[in-house]
Amino acid sequence: MGRTRSMDMDSTEACELEGVPDAQESPTSDQDGWDKSANLFTRLVKAQAEAKKLEKTKPKSDGMKYEYVTHDDIASEAKKILTKNGILFFPSVAKYEQEGNKTVINVKASFYNADKPEEKLETEGLGFGVDNQDKGPGKAYSYACKYILAKTLMLNTSDDIEEHDIDFNPAATSEAALKTRIKTENEIKEWVNSFSGLIDESHTYDQLKKIKTDNAEMFKAKVVPEKTKEALAKKLHDKMELAREAIVKEVSEDA
């Protein structure tokens, strides 16, 4: 009679017989492809290690003096390594400013552990976009996201911005801001002329003291240049001292 196989074989032997994967295989990874037990920072370290060098694909144009890596190139590479490591990326607009045709956006971005959403890393980025139509906000938003992803994931963009020889130009001022500045400057000039004229026309100490009291707010105003305020304050002080001396002299003569 043939010998039968024992039914109380160990689990390893049973798995081998039935073609089932080894029961001791790591339970922390599945079809998603990432280690579900890893925390967010471990995942980010792995993602940074997997980041590859990106070549410049956008050539020089009339408005650009140098080649650069596009937003789409960085977003595409970031998507691959973030998804591979179970990391979610959520950007949002924290602050928005519009000046003429220039848009400035402060983007707040969050990186989440896909398996433990309570684990997150937050960072911020600044984006600028100039456009004569309605594309400024989109340009600024894309610019900020591009560099948040590039810097967080240590993506090598083969672009050394310190090598670009670009002369500094003062920030362009919008027409509305320019009109406001001119109006303010004219108002300051009118006040200076009026204040100086009142000092010249006043001769008594009480008159000069009233001028000082009535114009106290203008001396606190930040829009008035400090040198202008100092010059006017000195003129008023000197005139008040002369008026004070005149009072003393008059009192002495009466005595």
Within a domain: residue 31? no
Confidence of residue 250 (pLDDT cuts 50, 70, 90): confident
Provide the pLDDT for residue 119.
96
Within a domain: residue 8? no
Provide the pLDDT for residue 14.
34
Confidence of residue 106 (pLDDT cuts 50, 70, 90): very high
Domain holding 184, by residue range, is 175-254
Contacts of residue 58, Cβ cutoff 8 Å, sequence gap at least 6: 64, 67, 68, 69, 70
Within a domain: residue 220? yes
- Averaging pLDDT over each range in 1-10, 61-70, 242-251, which range is the top one? 242-251
Within a domain: residue 3? no
Q: Which of 135, 160, 185 is the last residue of a domain?
A: 160
Within a domain: residue 38? no
119-157 pLDDT, tens digit per residue, is 999 999 999 888 888 888 999 999 999 999 999 998 877
Answer yes or no: do 105 and 155 share one domain.
yes
84-102 pLDDT, tens digit per residue, is 999 999 999 999 888 888 8
Answer yes or no: do 180 and 248 share one domain.
yes
Provide the pLDDT for residue 83.
94
Answer yes or no: do 156 and 196 share one domain.
no
Q: Assign residue 70 the CATH number of its domain.
A: 3.30.160.20
Residue 194 tokens, joined: 């009026």
The β-bridge partners of 68 are 58
As a whole number of angstroms, the distance between CA 178 and CA 86 comes to: 50
Answer yes or no: do 214 and 238 share one domain.
yes
Q: How many domains does the structure of the chain reveal? A: 2
34-91 pLDDT, tens digit per residue, is 899 999 999 999 999 998 877 766 555 545 554 668 888 899 999 999 999 999 999 9
Residue 172 tokens, joined: 């362009």
Within a domain: residue 168? no
Contacts of residue 116, Cβ cutoff 8 Å, sequence gap at least 6: 39, 40
Provide the pLDDT for residue 174.
56
Exposure string of 151-167, with b = 16+ CB inside 10 Å and e = fewer, is ebbebebeeeeeeeeee
Answer yes or no: do 55 and 133 share one domain.
yes
Report whether 101 contacts 131 (CB < 8 A). Answer: yes
Report pTM: 0.51
Contacts of residue 184, Cβ cutoff 8 Å, sequence gap at least 6: 223
Q: Which of 100, 128, 160 is the last residue of a domain?
A: 160
185-215 pLDDT, tens digit per residue, is 888 889 899 999 999 998 898 999 999 999 9
